Amino acid sequence: KQEVTQIPAALSVPEGENLVLNCSFTDSAIYNLQWFRQDPGKGLTSLLLIQSSQREQTSGRLNASLDKSSGRSTLYIAASQPGDSATYLCAVRNTGGFKTIFGAGTRLFVKA
């Protein structure tokens, strides 16, 4: 059974700092891995999607990597801003059944 773990559970950083969010998964038989952002009381915003054959994806200040063999992904946020404050969710889509399994998320607070 796929399990997705995110570390840290919460993170507070000063504005401008570069930071890394970690995601690990137990079953490497995945189709893709996706990072989402969720603001309080809101739905999901997709940030980056990495297919199983890819190693990384970049969008603006965000860079996500995938190491399928070790079951790890990282989300790198450069030059953090207060507007980046949100919960970041890592989600893994399994082969067979197409299920997407979510991690518990990392709550990020960027201080001005």
Could you tell me the smallest distance in angstroms from the CB atom of residue 11 to other proteins? 15
Minimum CB distance to other proteins smaller for 93 or for 110: 93
Other Cβ atoms within 10 Å of 52 Cβ, number: 15
Could you tell me the smallest distance in angstroms from the CB atom of residue 56 to other proteins? 17
Minimum CB distance to other proteins smaller for 18 or for 60: 60
Could you tell me the smallest distance in angstroms from the CB atom of residue 61 to other proteins? 20
Q: Which residues bind other proteins (CB under 8 A)?
A: 31-32, 34, 36, 41-44, 46, 49, 51-52, 89, 91, 93, 95, 97-105
Minimum CB distance to other proteins smaller for 52 or for 63: 52
What SS3 state is found at 15? coil
**For residues 76 and 2, what is the distance between their CA atoms, to the nearest angstrom?**
24
**For residues 51 and 30, what is the distance between their CA atoms, to the nearest angstrom?**
9
Residue 80 phi/psi, 5-degree rounding, is -60, 150
Minimum CB distance to other proteins smaller for 61 or for 99: 99
Contacts of 2 (CB under 8 A, 6+ apart): 25, 26, 27, 30, 92, 94, 99, 101
Six-digit token pair at 90? 């890592």
Could you tell me the smallest distance in angstroms from the CB atom of residue 101 to other proteins? 7
